[in-house]
Amino acid sequence: MAKENQFVEQIADIEKDFPQWYTDVVLKTKLVDYGPVKGTMVIRPYGYAIWENIQKEMNERFKARGVENAYFPLLIPMSYFTKEAEHVEGFAPELAVVTVGGGEELSEPLAIRPTSETIIGTMMAKWVQSYRDLPLKINQWCNVMRWEKTTRPFLRTSEFLWQEGHTAHASAEEAEEETFAMLKVYKEFAENCLAIPVLTGKKTEKERFAGAVATYTMEAMMRDGKSLQAGTSHYLGQNFAKAFEIQFLDSDGTHKTAYTSSWGVSTRLIGAIVMTHGDERGLKLPPVVAPVQCVIVPIAARKPGVLERCEELKKEFEKAGIRVALDASDNSPGWKFNEWEMKGVPLRVELGPRDIENGKMLCARRDTYEKLEMPLENAAETVKELLATIQKDMLETARKRRDERIVYADDMQGILDAVENGKFVKAGWCGCRACEDKVKEETAATARVHAEGESAEKCAICGEKAESVIIFARAY
């Protein structure tokens, strides 16, 4: 679709330079700006409003499963990390460490939180004494720091926001059940709130979270065919519980070690929304998390009664629980259309003298560009129904685009051809780390997730008997 004006031309061509398009969009729509320290970002009000809506939806789902919110310190003694050897080895390259406090050298260096298994494990050991204290389900909304060399707003920054859930259970079965349950929560949220279809399943050992027994992921396909790990759920077994002595007196009178899980999503979900739904005009936001779900644009606003009727309509929408904006600025209608389209507002309502006279309003969908003349009577109900339709249609559009770009390969050339053409590729895998490494070396693709319920006769890399089917893709 041809660009129509100077405003839209400020965005790079999505087909020719997707990375630059992404950067242009997140900056020009005021979702984010660069922080003064390399690799950090400032989340601006419009971007933070999306995060607030994500928090609201997530909190409802967490609390329905008995999870309680808490907060733990940002600074963690370095000695905590040494208690779980694999964990400290996995995070060592990313740790930011404080060695001076109050002008004096600290007796023990303090790590700035990269994740909280260690400190939460320490506290759980204090709080869990009896089987009656279990299960313990805690979540925190916080910032974390992982010193990154290559950064991009929302997708990978040295400091970012996330939620991290941590649970302790009396049995392995309960902990594993919680791990899978939270993965299902994430999948339902991604699809029904973000309109992003995701593939869920187990990570390979190479891609497993440091210190976990098993890591489960949800992977989303971006518009350029790359994968984005949108959330993870980890079964930790007794690894951290043993390291931090999370023990309890069971009903049979014996002391036992608990089993734990952890799970999280972050502000990279905002980047996922941008790259899944955006187009040549900018953002395209799903209604459930859009800061503004509907914008009212007066036409011939200076004519008697137009602005007043728009104000009435705005109040009607607000009363119905619709997040609405009224653009009564002195910019031209065309400028306003482009401005709000760029910001991804799902629905635009245009109202002018003739519309008012005829008892009509013009509704323009951001997702399809379709324009519908609708009655002003019961306008709020009409808009709510349209928003629900837009939410559903955005998911189906993204799902169709993704499914059309998932292919099968039975050899290395097939894997290479697929990823070169921006596709996800399913291939048989023998389970050997050397074969997994070879794919990355020759194609720059990584094993994203096991394809659940699928099988293959031979490994596409070495030709030996296949153990499972892996989805390979280049990733952010």
When pLDDT is cut at 50, 70 and 90, the band that residue 5 belongs to is very low
Place of tokens 């040494």: 82
* Statement: residue 187 has pLDDT above 60: yes
- 318 shares a domain with 203: no
- 170 shares a domain with 27: yes
- 370 shares a domain with 449: no
Do the domain assignments include residue 287? no
When pLDDT is cut at 50, 70 and 90, the band that residue 299 belongs to is very high
The dihedrals phi and psi of 254, each to the nearest 5 degrees, come to: -105, 150
State residue 3's pLDDT score.
Answer: 41
Which CATH number fits the domain that encloses residue 458? 3.30.110.30
* Statement: residue 91 has pLDDT above 90: no
Mean pLDDT of the 65-71 span: 98
pLDDT in tens, 12-53: 999 999 999 999 999 999 999 999 999 999 999 999 999 999
Mean pLDDT of the 208-226 span: 96
State residue 148's pLDDT score.
Answer: 85
Mean pLDDT of the 213-217 span: 98
Tell me the longest C-alpha to C-alpha distance in the chain.
81
Question: For the residues of 446-476, what is the DSSP string, one character each?
Answer: EEEEE-TT---SB-TTT-SB-SEEEEEE-B-
pLDDT in tens, 148-158: 888 899 999 99
Do the domain assignments include residue 396? no
Going by C-beta distance under 8 Å and a sequence separation of 6 or more, which residues neighbour residue 120? Answer: 72, 138, 166
Do the domain assignments include residue 191? yes
Mean pLDDT of the 249-266 span: 97
- 354 shares a domain with 206: no
Q: How far is CA 201 from CA 68, 127, 179, 266, 378, in A?
A: 26, 32, 11, 19, 44
Going by C-beta distance under 8 Å and a sequence separation of 6 or more, which residues neighbour residue 341? Answer: 281, 282, 348, 366
- 323 shares a domain with 234: no
Q: Report how many domains make up the chain.
A: 3
When pLDDT is cut at 50, 70 and 90, the band that residue 81 belongs to is confident
When pLDDT is cut at 50, 70 and 90, the band that residue 88 belongs to is low
Q: Which amino acid is at 307?
A: L
Domain that holds residue 312: 294-386
State residue 471's pLDDT score.
Answer: 98
* Secondary structure class of 77 (helix, strand, coil): strand
Do the domain assignments include residue 400? no
Of 358, 386, 414, the residue at which a domain comes to its end is 386
Of 252, 277, 302, the residue at which a domain comes to its end is 277
- 318 shares a domain with 234: no
- 361 shares a domain with 273: no
pLDDT in tens, 348-357: 999 999 999 9
Do the domain assignments include residue 398? no
State residue 300's pLDDT score.
Answer: 86
* Statement: residue 87 has pLDDT above 80: no
Question: If we measure between CA atoms, which residue out of 318, 368, 327, 331 comes closest to residue 349?
Answer: 327
- 226 shares a domain with 83: yes
* Statement: residue 239 has pLDDT above 80: yes
Do the domain assignments include residue 151? yes
pLDDT in tens, 436-476: 999 999 999 999 999 999 999 999 999 999 999 999 999 99
pLDDT in tens, 315-369: 999 999 999 999 999 999 999 999 999 999 999 999 999 999 999 999 999 999 9
Question: If we measure between CA atoms, which residue out of 51, 49, 449, 467 comes closest to residue 221?
Answer: 449
Bridge partner residues of 168 (DSSP): 136, 260
Mean pLDDT of the 178-204 span: 98
Mean pLDDT of the 426-436 span: 97
Q: What percent of the chain has pLDDT over 90?
A: 92
State residue 4's pLDDT score.
Answer: 43
Do the domain assignments include residue 448? yes
State residue 309's pLDDT score.
Answer: 95
Do the domain assignments include residue 397? no
**Angstrom distance (rounded) from CA 248 to CA 282:** 54
- Give the HSE-up count for residue 112: Cα atoms under 13 Å, Cβ half-sphere: 17
When pLDDT is cut at 50, 70 and 90, the band that residue 8 belongs to is low
Q: What percent of the chain has pLDDT over 70?
A: 97
CA 298, 303, 307, 310 torsion: positive or negative? negative
State residue 2's pLDDT score.
Answer: 40
Mean pLDDT of the 305-312 span: 94
- 299 shares a domain with 255: no
| Buried-state track 387-413, b at ≥16 Cβ within 10 A, e below 16 | beebbeebbebbbeebeebbbbbbebe
Question: What is the residue-averaged pLDDT of the chain?
Answer: 95
Q: How far is CA 339 from CA 101, 281, 356, in A?
A: 47, 10, 24
- 313 shares a domain with 235: no
Which CATH number fits the domain that encloses residue 53? 3.30.930.10
- 156 shares a domain with 26: yes
* Statement: residue 252 has pLDDT above 60: yes
- 304 shares a domain with 356: yes
State residue 94's pLDDT score.
Answer: 86
